[in-house]
Structure 1
Amino acid sequence: MDPISGVALILGLPSLVVSCADFYRKVLISRRIGRDGALLLTKAAIEQAKFHDWLTQAGFLDGSPHKLHLNLTASRVVMSAIEGIKLTLENLGSIIDKYELDEGGEVTGLNFALPDRFWLQATGKQLPTDGIVKTEKRIRDGTRFSRKRFTWAAADMELSQNLINDLRRFNEDLRYASHEMGTSAPNLPSKVLPQVLNTEELERLVAAASETYPELSKCASMKLEALNIARDLSAPPQLQNELIRRRKLILTSSTSFQTFRNLVQYLDEGSQMTVLLEDKYYPKERDQAYDQFVHRRVYEVAKLLASTPKPSKFRALDCLGYVHDRIRGCYSFIFRLPPNFDESKSPVSLNVFWSESSERSISKVALGQRFDIARAVATSLLYLHACGILHKAFHSGNILFFQRKSEKMPDLSSPFLLGYDYARPHGVPFKSEVNDPLQIQGEQIYAHPDYDPSAKRRYLKAFDLYGLGVLLLEIAIWRSATTLIPPNTARSEARLLLINETLNLEPVVGAQYVGVVARCLTGDIYSEQTPTKAVSLMIDEEDELDGQNQNAFVRNIVERLDRCFA
């Protein structure tokens, strides 16, 4: 390797990077090009999001491109890819520029703009917010305007699609040449969805990503459903809505129910199947307003979980609807069982495996297998948040494992997330229940110290992350976190004890895993090092910082778990 040549190549990157970012910024402008044209721009915006994420991880947004430690061959691949992106965007821009700007020249919501600090660092000045509009005033031949088109030409559409395919290939070249840097397709939903805030853009994103990024498309579809639910809040569900099921469950008697989760037979259009029933109880003493509130919440959650197909990493069962059992005083969600599993065997929750009193306990699980479980549950929560859903009961009792046919033990490689009885869509219009799951013994340890359901304060994604941290700690030690905390310990003190226990685990699970758990427990998800002290939550700014928080969740939680190996 010639180190001088390698350095020369890397030194040439900043100017190319600025050019590419600027071309993306100018190409992705709202124009009057119809549905097909808007769809193509959305596809280009997805590639822009991937490129910008690569810039972030390479250090171009914080002034340290030296994070690119590449050999000469990899440096050449990176330079070639970025030069290819620039040329492709030039060609795409020349096509797009034929079409009329939308009224006012607004930048679309899917133009993933880089922060001001990038432009200040790169150009020495901040770009004006109306800078893109001035591109419409360019004179093509130096003397006059060309008349802009309003309809999308077929030839332009085919050529533009080919150019967008080229952008995707160049992004892949960057990712592979830079090894761990760059957004991989599985984590793309968390990079893109926080910035897509209206139904029209989500509908385009669902269509634009369906072929190339199906997981992103499925997540966008679920977030679209969440936004539609928020829009319809003023219209409570009718008693006979499309999700409530009557006289379809084949039950012997209510006394046959041993727990709040039970396998029962379900009659659907003449055919019988085994389903999982999960109960949501309500207090005996309640008023009509509370009844309506709970019914509305059950309907919202069932509608979200009925969305199909779901992203594979979502790790959720399909909801067929719900029933209202007034005798037992509960609503019951009806879940379809996962395929290829033994329907005669009840699922087993994660906490059962380390319970000494359970016949199904497993005293030892290989570290590599525990890492796999940790990755799966963390990614499940990541996808849940990306789709705009708060879980609100993220603990080991809600991680379920099913037993495959002809197997003697549940399949530990395929966990599923349940326990949606207190879940709700994320957003200002949605309120949490006054009746709270913290009353259940053993679950308080998963609750963030700042979470107070009686204070009428919004539930935050950070509270779910704290529960994830406790769960990841339990997976590491393979026993309940309650064994680490004396009885009646305040939640704030319990957190300190859990953090200290985590920091002592490095010889067992490694520095990467310890850092992940510590970030969840302290709330310091932005820290590149292992944090040791809890940070204050920015409650009022959570929505504003949603995109940044999701990126930190990907970068410092999920992607670091991907680097944990036994």
Structure 2
Amino acid sequence: MDIVSIPRGAYRWVSGASSDEVKRLATRIATNLTTCRSNLTIFTAQSTSLDHAKHRIDWARKVLDIIEVSTQLSAEQLGLGYALLEQWSREFIKKYTQLSAEQLRLDFATLEQLAKYLDVLAIRWEETLWRIKQGRAHQEMIEWLRSFEVQVLGLPLELRRMIHATDDIMPSLVERSNHQLQEFLSLSLSDRLKRAKVLLPQNPDELASAITRRGDITFQPLAYRDESLIFASQRAPLDRIPGTPEFQWDVSNISELAAAFNCLDLAADIRLLKVKYFFYYEEGNQLLFAQTPPYSTLSMATLAEVIEADSFPKITTSLTERLKLAYKLAEAVFFCHTAGLLHKSITSSSVVALRRLQPPQGNCIPNIDDSYLMVSELISNVPAGTFNRFNCPRWDSEIFQHMDLLEGQRKTSYIRAYDVYSLGVVLLEVGLWQRIGHAMRDTELTNLDLLDYVRALPRLLPKVGSRLGQGYQNVVKWCLDLTGDHIVRNDEFVREVLGPLENMAVWI
């Protein structure tokens, strides 16, 4: 059974188990995780060379013994959590004890990664024990499994290859969507461009006319034929003339990103909007991405607009919603990075908050139903003829860019650290629940140029800590402290960003 697929089979058990059964399960899991983690600490300390390969095998057998002795219930009875631990440990160790000396040399990092994930699991189950006493366990276990399907994408490739799905278990929607994206990115440039051409509407003039007739498409989705579309855009460079080779080169580069976002599966519930069409809208001098919302949507607004309208100190958006928003955005970025995709345009204007046509059942209607990271910024209503660098403030985009990019010290290629830095600035605004510019006005910093403001962003961190806590402040600080030569690893991002945000969002 695939570790990613186990959760779906366990949902039924969770929903039907009694509180006592769940409590016994969680206690057993917490005990075994602690024991396994303790053994792994000793084991990794002894395994700094190939001479200690025997210690590795001995440790593996000890873990198997621990699991055999402690497992008194069937896998079906154990359900959710223990099935995860048992299957993960067994499949990993079975393969692990068969590795050659050469393979062992390459596998030390895998063990370190396993230790970190066991740490996360152990902490989660200790918290679950407390939640069970509050009668809140079932839903939280399901929430935890949902996030686990994403985090498993960050496991080392060697470990992921060790765990295979049985014939009767399909990969999770998250895994399949991630794999589709990886497959696209592995294509040759010519094949990627061929896929991008498919996104051109059959009748682009008809769609352009529908946009023109509607006028304002920034507030509500556009009904086009039998579809509902939300538009993100990139302004065509003013020094590029449509039809010229230079213009076509720019369009080709951007169309690749559109095709990548077309690989997404909305059913996977990753907070990324799928691109349906991509074309040049001449009247607005814009390259448009037509995206499909995941449900019937009444209205939408950028995160920047939502914060502006509900800004600190008169906040109506709950703490829970803000923390969940932060976690889901980090999860979306992590999903892209594990597939090999760099976003390059993460700002609070490229995050769109959707208002459902039919709100969720219950007494409390959330202020923000869901927020999604788009391929680019939500379309603007600035007329093409009046658009220039003066009425499009640099704040709106460049404040989110890494200092290397602003100072012209860009590396030969864009790297993950730049995306994570941009995410950090968005998380800073979410933590403050103020636009950066407004928050800066409350400081002694005035009349500074853009670079000085960017350098001063860390001065806002204490405010974040006072509003969302020290843990959240640490996450934002880690993102903002990234240097241009930092290689952000999957396990590092989970440990420093995704894991802490999940703790705050799911377990608050």
- Residue by residue over 1:486-507, the C-alpha shift from the partner in whole angstroms, topping out at 9 and shown as x without a partner, is 5553455324432122124433
User: What's the TM-score once normalised by structure 2's chain length?
Assistant: 0.63
Matches for 1:153-302 after TM superposition, within 5 Å: 184-192=148-156, 211=170, 213-228=172-187, 232-234=188-190, 237=193, 241-247=197-203, 248-249=206-207, 251-252=209-210, 254=212, 256-258=214-216, 263-267=221-225, 272-286=226-240, 288-302=244-258
Shift of 1:371: 1.0
Q: Please tell me whether residue 367 in structure 1 is matched to residue 319 in structure 2.
A: yes
Q: How many residues align?
A: 405
Distance 1:513 1:468 in 2: 13
Larger helix percent: 2
- Residue 113 of structure 1 is matched in structure 2 by 107
- Residue 468 of structure 1 is matched in structure 2 by 423
Q: Please tell me whether residue 400 in structure 1 is matched to residue 352 in structure 2.
A: yes
- The answer as to whether partners of 1:449 and 1:491 remain within 8 angstroms in 2 is no
Q: Please tell me whether residue 381 in structure 1 is matched to residue 333 in structure 2.
A: yes
- Residue 477 of structure 2 is matched in structure 1 by 518
SS at 1:321 equivalent: strand
Distance 1:9 1:263 in 2: 51
Shift of 1:84: 9.3
Shift of 1:336: 1.5
Distance 1:365 1:210 in 2: 40
The code of the aligned residue for 1:225 comes to: F
- Residue 437 of structure 2 is matched in structure 1 by 482
- The answer as to whether partners of 2:43 and 2:56 remain within 8 angstroms in 1 is no
Which segments of 5 or more consecutive residues in structure 1 lack a partner in the other structure? 1-5, 27-50, 56-72, 119-169, 423-434, 524-535
The code of the aligned residue for 2:301 comes to: V
The code of the aligned residue for 1:387 comes to: A
The code of the aligned residue for 1:189 comes to: L
- Residue by residue over 1:63-117, the C-alpha shift from the partner in whole angstroms, topping out at 9 and shown as x without a partner, is xxxxxxxxxx99xx99xx99998876786689x89xxx9xxx9969xx9722499
Q: Please tell me whether residue 312 in structure 1 is matched to residue 268 in structure 2.
A: yes
- The answer as to whether partners of 1:438 and 1:444 remain within 8 angstroms in 2 is no
- Residue 305 of structure 2 is matched in structure 1 by 352
Q: Please tell me whether residue 338 in structure 1 is matched to residue 338 in structure 2.
A: no
- Residue 145 of structure 1 is matched in structure 2 by none
- The answer as to whether partners of 1:398 and 1:418 remain within 8 angstroms in 2 is yes
- Residue 133 of structure 1 is matched in structure 2 by none
- The answer as to whether partners of 1:401 and 1:411 remain within 8 angstroms in 2 is no
After superposition, the Cα gap between the structure-2 partners of 1:171 and 1:290, relative to the gap in structure 1 and judged at 3 Å, is: same
Distance 1:8 1:399 in 2: 42
The code of the aligned residue for 2:479 comes to: C
Structure ranking higher on relative contact order (CA contacts 8 Å, 6+ apart): 2
Distance 1:207 1:399 in 2: 38
- The answer as to whether partners of 2:301 and 2:354 remain within 8 angstroms in 1 is yes
- Residue 460 of structure 2 is matched in structure 1 by 501
Which segments of 5 or more consecutive residues in structure 2 lack a partner in the other structure? 1-32, 64-69, 72-77, 113-117, 129-143, 379-388
SS at 2:349 equivalent: helix
- Residue by residue over 1:455-478, the C-alpha shift from the partner in whole angstroms, topping out at 9 and shown as x without a partner, is 664322222222222221211221
Distance 2:353 2:262 in 1: 20
After superposition, the Cα gap between the structure-2 partners of 1:357 and 1:239, relative to the gap in structure 1 and judged at 3 Å, is: same
Distance 1:16 1:305 in 2: 42
The code of the aligned residue for 2:466 comes to: P
Distance 1:371 1:213 in 2: 25
- Residue by residue over 1:110-129, the C-alpha shift from the partner in whole angstroms, topping out at 9 and shown as x without a partner, is x97224997xxxxxxxxxxx
The code of the aligned residue for 2:340 comes to: G
- Residue 139 of structure 1 is matched in structure 2 by none
Distance 2:308 2:320 in 1: 21
Q: Work out which of the two has the higher radius of gyration on C-alpha atoms and give 1 or 2.
A: 1
Distance 2:89 2:262 in 1: 42
Distance 2:119 2:111 in 1: 23
SS at 2:420 equivalent: helix
Distance 2:356 2:35 in 1: 56
Shift of 1:340: 3.8
Distance 2:281 2:426 in 1: 32
SS at 1:322 equivalent: strand
Distance 1:364 1:173 in 2: 34
SS at 2:201 equivalent: coil
SS at 1:222 equivalent: helix
- Residue by residue over 1:162-199, the C-alpha shift from the partner in whole angstroms, topping out at 9 and shown as x without a partner, is xxxxxxxx999978767799993331112346999xxx
Distance 2:38 2:233 in 1: 61
Distance 1:273 1:7 in 2: 51
- Residue 442 of structure 1 is matched in structure 2 by 396
SS at 2:461 equivalent: helix
Shift of 1:508: 2.7
- Residue 155 of structure 1 is matched in structure 2 by none
Q: Please tell me whether residue 538 in structure 1 is matched to residue 485 in structure 2.
A: yes
Distance 1:520 1:171 in 2: 22
* Identical aligned residues as a percent: 15
Distance 2:181 2:255 in 1: 15
Distance 1:363 1:261 in 2: 22
The code of the aligned residue for 2:265 comes to: P
Q: Which of residues 325, 328, 334 is equivalent to 2:281?
A: 325
After superposition, the Cα gap between the structure-2 partners of 1:87 and 1:497, relative to the gap in structure 1 and judged at 3 Å, is: closer
The code of the aligned residue for 2:228 comes to: T
Q: Please tell me whether residue 451 in structure 1 is matched to residue 391 in structure 2.
A: no
SS at 1:500 equivalent: helix
Distance 2:86 2:54 in 1: 12
Q: Which of residues 409, 414, 418 is equivalent to 2:374?
A: 418
Q: Which moved more, 1:451-460 or 1:10-19?
A: 10-19
Q: Which of residues 553, 556, 564 is equivalent to 2:493?
A: 553
